[in-house]
Amino acid sequence: MTHAIPVPESATTDEAPLLAVVYAVGSASPIEILRAAQGLCTVVFLFDRGDVDGEMAAEFFEEFGGGRDVTGQSAEAVAELLAGRNVAGITTFSEFKLTYTAALSTALRLLFHNPVVAERLSNKASQRGCLAAAEVDSVRFRKVPSAEGVPVALDEVGFPAVVKPTVGAASRNAFRVDSTQHWKTIADGHSLSEELIVEQFLVGDTSKAGDAWGDYVSVEAVSVNGQHACFAVLGKTPLAPPFRESGMFYPSTLGVTGDDEVCRLAARALDAIGVRNGVTQTEVKLTSSGPRVIEVNGRLGGYVADIVRRSGGEDPVRLALRAALGDGQLEFQRPTASGVAFQIFLPAPVERSRIKAVAGLDDLRALDGVDSVWTGVRPGDVIDAADGTRSYLGIVHGHVPDHDALAGLITLARQTLEVEFSPAAATGQLPSRE
């Protein structure tokens, strides 16, 4: 059974072309997208109630409008509903909807990653193959159908290694493995039934970034018709075990020359994968032999838009919408604000734990340089480091004069938030969050 998808009248005018956003768990909220679309386009959200936050999205769209429920419908069926309704562009901000959106864009003849490119961006093994074939970056790797095949793959790849799902996001179930026994301990403690990639661990070198900072950066870029433009290089703080981001900031500590070098590498990676349109995030490891590609994500990176906006740059969400509409000028306002904009992530312990009490939030918000603090955890919640970025205790947003001030604030912030955990092994689910 199909339902017609009404199109707002304003979408038929030149001033407000209609742009479809395939909405699911991702890095941009409906409010962010609607704000970014002002004066540019009319947005129609396509959402499936089967997604993790599908019911929350449905409630939002029912109250504010602009959403279309396509629960259970194939890309072909949705494309048929949209055909002839003057849809001028399409995009998604969700890692989990890249291939679905690619199928829609192909059927509607709109700009986005084509299905082959979307598969390469979604599947880390396919991506590694493309990078190696184009001689952009060659990392030893093996793809295995399940955890049972990991020991043999580790023998071939060597140690240290990284084991993670071939399709996934937010560092979920990503582990560094240093020995066969280490892997056995990991496998015994986690349920890993999906397809996995086992790849060489890239050893970092912080001599260029600075010892206080992480050994990797992220290159944020927008592409139209095969032309790539980097709009920001974000510095990172050291990873929290096993592979959780612990913070990001702009500008990076690499300087203009270092930023240009990683931007060139990212552009080569995008060409190798075949990216022609859209916003991407390329994670780059800083090694003693030069920058190396960790992975390329085919959508706007999580939390990136907030930092770029607060640094005086054009909203990356708006850049993504512009790219979807085919704006080929690639002209935008680069970040210009002085000082350092940051987000400090407050990671939970590695062990699966239940939160007993949370204190210190008011003191944390009162620290110099802190603009806001978000926390979604409450007493009784269960958190697990294997869930990656979903296991944060909180996120601190702010702006400081320089990188030295940020280093000091990071230490102080993590000392200020006080969280008490239940000592016994816990069961339950993480609090839901976007």
Partners of residue 142 on adjacent β-strands: 198
* 76 in the same domain as 167: no
Decide if 19 contacts 42 (C-beta within 8 A).
Answer: yes
pLDDT at 386: 66
pLDDT at 192: 78
Among the residue ranges 5-9, 233-237, 250-254, 353-357, the one predicted with the least confidence is 5-9
* 82 in the same domain as 21: yes
Residue 85 has pLDDT above 90, yes or no: no
> pLDDT higher for 193 or 151?
151
> pLDDT higher for 241 or 162?
162
> pLDDT higher for 385 or 311?
311
Residue 430 has pLDDT above 70, yes or no: no
* Domain span holding position 327: 216-422
Share of the chain above pLDDT 90, in %: 65
Distance CA 158, CA 78 (A): 45
What mean pLDDT value characterizes the chain? 88
At 42, give phi and psi (nearest 5°): -100, 130
Q: How many CA atoms lie within 13 A of 364 on its CB side?
A: 26
H/E run at residue 187:
helix 180-189
Q: How many CB atoms lie within 10 A of CB 1?
A: 3
Examine residue 120 and state whether it is found in any structural domain, yes or no. no
Residue 290 has pLDDT above 50, yes or no: yes
Partners of residue 200 on adjacent β-strands: 161
* 305 in the same domain as 355: yes
Examine residue 118 and state whether it is found in any structural domain, yes or no. no
Residue 55 has pLDDT above 90, yes or no: no
pLDDT at 9: 37
H/E run at residue 69:
strand 67-69
Amino acid type, 314: E
* 355 in the same domain as 223: yes
* 85 in the same domain as 20: yes
Tens-digit pLDDT profile for residues 248-278? 999 999 999 999 999 999 999 999 999 999 9
Distance CA 364, CA 103 (A): 45
H/E run at residue 163:
strand 161-165
Tens-digit pLDDT profile for residues 327-345? 877 777 788 889 999 999 9
* 251 in the same domain as 181: no
* 323 in the same domain as 385: yes
Tens-digit pLDDT profile for residues 95-128? 989 999 999 999 999 999 999 999 999 999 999 9
* 395 in the same domain as 266: yes
Say which CATH number the domain at 153 has: 3.30.1490.20
Examine residue 206 and state whether it is found in any structural domain, yes or no. no
Cα 329–Cα 301–Cα 351 angle in degrees, nearest 5: 175
